[in-house]
Structure 1
Amino acid sequence: MNTSVYCMARTPEQAEVILLELKQAGFTNNDISALLPDRRGTKDFAHEHSTKAPEGATAGGIAGMGVGAALGWLAGIGALAIPGVGPFIAAGPVMAALGGAAVGTATGGVVGGLVGMGMPEFEAKRYDAKIREGNILISVHTESGQQKDVAKDVFKRNNADDISTASEARVH
């Protein structure tokens, strides 16, 4: 059964190490998602922040935040503005889930997107609060118990907070 493993990183540096270790463990950019608040002002979008990533202004801003190299290889880096919630930077499969949530769900915003990915609502609300405080949500799609254990080990080894798992929602 497909499962997602989640954790919270407290700093961009901690997130960078976790993302790079997940990549070294064999997870692909389609397996890993990251979500963080976009704390840059609109003025920052216009400035280049030392990056070689081809994703443009968003990736440049991410590099300025300290997670550029790790997020640079993830799929679909983008900035999301979720009405009533604020701006976020998302990468990986969570980008599509939150893109749908931004259009409007009963639960709303980040919580709606995470619930839509299969996370229990109470956990989604807890993660949402932590993201708003500046933490970084990292999730990993796993297809076996062994992959799930590897992801959890990477999170634990790097002192990540709020490590949990959830069965992924089935797409029909």
Structure 2
Amino acid sequence: MKASVYCIAKTVEQAEAIVLDLKQQGFSADAISALLPDKRGTKDFAHEHNTKAPEGATTGGVAGLGVGAALGWLAGIGALAIPGVGPFIAAGPIMAALGGAAVGTAAGGVIGALIGMGIPEIEAKRYDDKIRGGNILLSVHTDDGKQKDIAKEVFKRHHADDISSGSEASAK
């Protein structure tokens, strides 16, 4: 059964260690998502990196994003702006989710995308608060119970917070 496992990392260094460990455990770059606040500031975000887009999200280059090699290894990493919420750096399947219709409303941008990825609403709200507080959301998409257990163990080994899992919504 396909499922996702989620956690909160408090620092980029902790997130990097988790991603490297997941990579060593055989998870692919496109199975891992990361979402973190873009702390470069809106002036840099809008002008130097040319990532502000009317539709709310666009992929930028890894250079200058303020993330290390492990997060840079993730699929589709880039900067995005959520109207009314602010700038974020995202990678993996969450980037696609944030680029979809859920971003259309400021209040539901991150929460809507997380719910769309199969996270229960109450947990999505908790994760949204933690991300806005400067933490990093990591998720791993798994194909079976063994992978799910491995991902949870990696999160625990690196002292991640708010570890949870849920079934993924099936695509129609």
The TM-score normalised by the length of structure 2 is 0.87
1:24-43 equivalent positions in 2, closer than 5 A: 24-43=24-43
Aligned to 1:80: 80
SS in 1 for 2:147: helix
Percent of paired sites with the same residue = 71
Partner of 1:59: 62
What CA distance in whole angstroms lies between the structure 2 residues aligned with 1:97 and 1:108?
12
Mapping of 1:137-148 within 5 angstroms?
A: 137-148=137-148
**Counterpart of 1:61 in 2: which secondary structure?**
coil
Give the conservation status (yes or no) of the 8 Å contact 2:21–2:154: yes
* Structure 2 Cα separation of the partners of residues 95 and 159 of structure 1: 25
Q: RMSD between aligned alpha carbons?
A: 1.8
- For 1:16-165, what aligned pairs fall within 5 Å after superposition? 16-45=16-45, 46=48, 58-62=61-65, 64=66, 67-100=67-100, 101-104=102-105, 108-165=108-165
Shift of 1:43: 4.6
**What TM-score do you get using the length of structure 1 for normalisation?**
0.87
Aligned equivalents of 2:84, 2:43: Cα separation in 1:
21
Whole-Å separation in 2 of the counterparts to 1:137 and 1:159: 14
Deviation at 1:61, TM superposition (A): 2.4
Pair 1:10-2:49 in alignment: no
Q: SS at 2:149's partner residue?
A: helix
Partners in 2 of 1:15 and 1:58 — Cα distance?
Answer: 19
User: Contact 2:110 / 2:128 at 8 angstroms: preserved in 1?
Assistant: yes
Q: State how far apart, in whole Å, the 2-side matches of 1:68 and 1:61 are.
A: 10
**Contact 2:60–2:78 at 8 Å: present in 1 too?**
no
Distance 1:167 1:104 in 2: 25
**C-alpha distance in structure 1 between counterparts of 2:44 and 2:17, whole Å:** 25
For structure 2, the 5+ residue unaligned runs are: 50-58
Residue pair 1:44, 1:61 contacting (<8 A) in 2 also: no
Q: Residue 57 of structure 1: CA displacement? A: 6.3
CA contact (8 A) 2:79 2:89 kept: yes
* Contact persistence 1:34–1:138 (CA under 8 A): yes
Quote how far apart the aligned CAs of 1:38 are: 0.6
Aligned residues: 160
Q: Deviations over 1:78-134 (max 9, x none)?
A: 1111111111100001000011122348x6110000000111000000000000000
> Structure 1 stretches of 5 or more lacking a match?
48-55
Residue identity in the other structure for 1:3:
A
Which AA in structure 1 matches 2:114? L
